[in-house]
């Protein structure tokens, strides 16, 4: 099946003119459609993609300029050419000024000039269509980028909100931990104190973050802390020496992704004397 790059519709009420146009343009490799009236031309345009229309000016019922005005209204990108006699030049000039037609040729036309003008018209047409396609592609890409930016902004807002919530929760957790009446000491795998709350100072005011827990507990208690860290099984240490006090201590291993990476020492209250 032959592929045509352009389709030309020829409109003239004289059969010999249509035949002459067909003989001339067929050599150019265009798809050719022909009809003898403006009304039929409009019907053909409804069912066929046409790039150029060449019409006689003087036709019954609908003149060439009237047809071109209709074509411009419904198919503004189509190239519109009129074939006319000398007596119609004023009418054609007015139609050109109104933008209804691209160009006109006087009958009888020069074959070589007509073919050359049609080629140039199609070159310009293709350039315009390419520019429109590129412009549309740019618009689509800009819209795509806008949507990506909008999605990115929404994602940033969501993540920012999530971070704010997490930070608020973390700050609240620290405040709750700090105000717990039970002394809490966090110890890392290196036996370094990494966390204490306010209640710890009631046990021993010298206990500080960054110091080794070994500075405040006995060697036996240190061994039990290491056992809990290794086994993951909590233990209670009775009457353990911590600083200058003797207290019961609950040693709880960290869980999940922090398993084996530290323990929590919960220092119980000193038993009340009877």
Asked whether 228 and 146 are in contact (CB, 8 A), the reply is no
Over the chain, what is the mean pLDDT? 88
3 state DSSP class of 246: strand
Q: What is the pTM of this model?
A: 0.55
- What is each CA distance from 196 to 19, 69, 105, 176, 177, in whole angstroms? 102, 88, 98, 12, 9
Q: Name which residue leads in pLDDT, 4 or 20.
A: 20
Contact between 211 and 190 under an 8 Å Cβ cutoff? The reply is no
At 274 the pLDDT is 46
Please indicate whether residue 89 or residue 228 has the higher confidence score (pLDDT).
228
Least-confidence region, from 1-5, 150-154, 188-192, 238-242: 1-5
- Predicted local confidence at residue 3, as pLDDT: 62
Q: How far apart are CA 132 and CA 153, in angstroms?
A: 31
What's the pLDDT tens digit per position in 203-252?
888 889 999 999 998 889 999 999 998 999 999 998 888 877 788 899 99
Residue 8 and residue 30 in contact, taking contact as beta carbons nearer than 8 Å? yes
DSSP annotation string for 78-117: SEEEEEE-GGGHHHHHHHHHTTS-SEEEESSPPHHHHHHH
- Has residue 272 got a pLDDT over 90? no
CA-to-CA dists, residue 126 to 3, 55, 97, 121, 240, angstroms: 16, 21, 23, 9, 92
CB of 229 closer than 8 Å to CB of 260: yes
Residue 12 reports pLDDT greater than 90: yes
Average pLDDT value for residue range 83-99:
75
Give the pLDDT mean for 158-173.
88
Query: What's the confidence (pLDDT) of residue 1?
Result: 43
**What is residue 7's three-state secondary structure?**
strand
User: With bands split at pLDDT 50, 70 and 90, how would you rate the model's confidence at 43?
Assistant: very high
Identify the residue with better confidence: 243 or 48: 48
Please say if the pLDDT value at position 94 is more than 80.
Answer: no
- Tell me which of 204 and 21 has the higher pLDDT: 21
Residue 178 near residue 195 (C-beta atoms within 8 A): no
pLDDT at position 111: 92
Tell me the longest C-alpha to C-alpha distance in the chain. Answer: 131
Beta bridge partners of 264: 186, 252
pLDDT one-digit tens code per residue, 95-136: 777 767 888 888 889 999 999 999 999 999 999 889 989 999
Domains and CATH numbers, the chain: 7-130 (3.40.50.2300), 181-267 (3.30.450.20)
């Amino acid at each position: 099946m032959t592929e045509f790059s352009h389709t030309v519709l020829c409109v003239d009420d004289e059969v010999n003119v249509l035949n002459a146009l067909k003989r001339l343009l067929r050599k150019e490799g265009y798809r050719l459609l022909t009809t003898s009236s403006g009304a039929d031309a409009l019907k053909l345009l409804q069912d066929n993609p046409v790039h150029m229309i060449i019409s006689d000016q003087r036709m019954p019922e609908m003149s060439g300029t009237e047809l071109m005005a209709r074509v411009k209204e419904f198919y503004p990108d189509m190239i519109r050419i009129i074939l006319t006699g000398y007596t119609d030049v004023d009418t054609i000039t007015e139609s050109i000024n109104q933008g209804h037609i691209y160009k006109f040729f006087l009958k009888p036309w020069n074959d070589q000039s007509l073919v050359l003008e049609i080629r140039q018209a199609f070159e310009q047409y293709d350039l315009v269509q390419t520019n429109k396609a590129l412009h549309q592609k740019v618009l689509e890409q800009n819209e795509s980028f806008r949507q990506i930016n909008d999605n990115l902004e929404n994602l940033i807002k969501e993540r920012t909100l999530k971070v704010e919530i997490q930070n608020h929760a973390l700050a609240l957790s620290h405040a709750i931990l700090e105000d717990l009446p039970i002394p809490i000491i966090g110890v890392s795998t290196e036996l370094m104190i990494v966390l204490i709350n306010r209640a710890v100072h009631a046990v021993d005011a010298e206990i500080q973050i960054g110091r080794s827990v070994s500075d405040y507990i006995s060697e036996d208690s240190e061994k039990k802390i290491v056992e809990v860290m290794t086994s993951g099984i909590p233990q209670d240490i009775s009457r353990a020496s911590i600083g200058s006090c003797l207290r019961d201590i609950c040693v709880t291993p960290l869980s999940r992704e922090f398993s084996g990476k530290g323990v929590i020492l919960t220092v119980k209250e000193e038993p009340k004397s009877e």
